Amino acid sequence: MVYNFELLSDNTMPFEDSLSFAQELDAHDPLGHMRNDFHLPKKNDGTDEIYLCGNSLGLQPKLTHSYLNYELSQWQRLGVKGHFDGDFPWMPYHEFLSEETAALVGAKTTEVVCMNSLTTNLHLMMVSFYRPRGTRTKVLIEDHAFPSDHYAVESQIKFHGLDPAKHMVLLKPRKGENCLRQEDILQTIDDLADQLALIMLPGVQYYTGQVLDMKLIAHTAQSHHIPIGFDLAHAAGNVLMELHEWGVDFAVWCSYKYLNSGPGSVAGCFVHEKHHDDETLPRFTGWWGHDKTTRFKMNNQFIPIHSAEAWQLSNPPILSLAAIRASLDTFKKAGGISTLREKSKKLTGFLRFLLDNRLKEQVTVITPDEDLSGCQLSLTINTNKPGKVVFEAIEAAGVTGDWREPNVIRVAPVPLYNRFEEMVRFVNILEQSL
């Protein structure tokens, strides 16, 4: 039998629960070679860990080292002249990242910028897009938002002199359910339209791995003229997006999860072009947002750049941007996000198949089905053993996933560097750990 990726995607070829089947898939995987472009953490015996934690910290591309070293040597050789000299001068360095970054999120190059950290960008965006007025004072977020997002929204509400208990609306899943229902999100927006000043939701929910229908949510928000922003921490480098087409007002994401740019690396930000020339938008400003041609005139008359770059504050950390450039070049080598997404559906689909085939009773996948999920599956354990104990056992056996309170094991096969074979090995280990 010929193992054909095209057939797999049509669901005309069934999966098989065997190591040899998985190895065949790897042998025919057009992206299989990309694993060699990454450093894989090793177990004590020198073999590769089964690394399923790219949702938390992506692995290091092999390019990163040389790109960082290049900038270190530029600094060593050129000192301050590195701002203008060399193949990648520091002054416009963030611009070298725009095209690839825009491709990842479905934006125009002028709509994206790499700057700051995710939470900082979230605050900067809310300064511009959360403007409580009249009856429209509330922010809609999800009940189980990532803590940093929750705190950021809460503190922005307080900053406007309002009470978060009254002005922060929390979307909850229905009783007994883990995920938000799309229709409930839209209904809530419709019901609260004349009270909402901002909607801020994740593209992919960090705990359940659920992908929200960003397009539909954005259209519903627009029909009521409510600004809509997305936190794409778990969506960037994972799922396909068309932020420009969808008319999303803003988005923020970090670069160290699926974007493999290293711990705490510089984050991304999207501002739709319809806002670039809006002089009524409030904004916290810094010199790096000022018109490039007159930035060094130092005359203290702020003229914003006509792009998302206007939201920049400082000259950026070049070493971190170099790591992002290495990551983006690695994505490009793989053929971009849509190619990766095709493999991702098969890889995560295979893992889902194995779990269902062998551990249906003991393990529940709380992540919704294919169209509403990306790389990550979130698992709860239904045996007498506490989930955390099971998690510790799989870790001891060489699997890196992560544990999220109160009771979820998250595993994220990443199409850039994970193999089909690892899905079988992981499920074997999980089975033994139960």
Ligand X SMILES: *Cc1c(COP(=O)(O)O)cnc(C)c1O
Binding site residues, ligand X, CB under 6 A: 117-119, 146, 148-149, 202, 206, 231, 233-234, 254
Q: How far is the CB of 62 from ligand X (least distance, A)?
A: 24
The pair of three-digit structure tokens given for residue 234, joined into one six-digit string = 């778990």
Which residue, 234 or 272, has its beta carbon nearer to ligand X?
A: 234
Question: Per residue, what are the HEC states of 282-337?
Answer: CCCCCHHHECCCCHHHCCCCCCECCCHHHHCCCCCCHHHHHHHHHHHHHHHHCCCH
Q: How far is the CB of 179 from ligand X (least distance, A)?
A: 16
CA–CA dist 306, 304 (Å, integer): 6
Nearest in space to 268 (alpha carbons), one of 259, 277, 281, 278: 259
CB contact at 8 A, 418 and 351: no
CB contact at 8 A, 143 and 171: yes
Q: How far is the CB of 232 from ligand X (least distance, A)?
A: 8
Q: How far is the CB of 167 from ligand X (least distance, A)?
A: 20
Which residue, 118 or 124, has its beta carbon nearer to ligand X?
A: 118
CB contact at 8 A, 39 and 60: yes
Which residue, 117 or 330, has its beta carbon nearer to ligand X?
A: 117
Which residue, 118 or 379, has its beta carbon nearer to ligand X?
A: 118
Nearest in space to 104 (alpha carbons), one of 242, 211, 234, 206: 242
CA–CA dist 135, 364 (Å, integer): 43
CB contact at 8 A, 278 and 271: no
Q: How far is the CB of 356 from ligand X (least distance, A)?
A: 27
Q: How far is the CB of 13 from ligand X (least distance, A)?
A: 34
Report strand pairing: 268-271 vs 228-231.
unpaired
CA–CA dist 202, 142 (Å, integer): 8
Q: How far is the CB of 369 from ligand X (least distance, A)?
A: 22
Which residue, 304 or 316, has its beta carbon nearer to ligand X?
A: 316
Q: What does the angle CA 163 – CA 169 – CA 174 come to, to the nearest 5 degrees?
A: 145
Which residue, 34 or 168, has its beta carbon nearer to ligand X?
A: 168
Which residue, 202 or 227, has its beta carbon nearer to ligand X?
A: 202
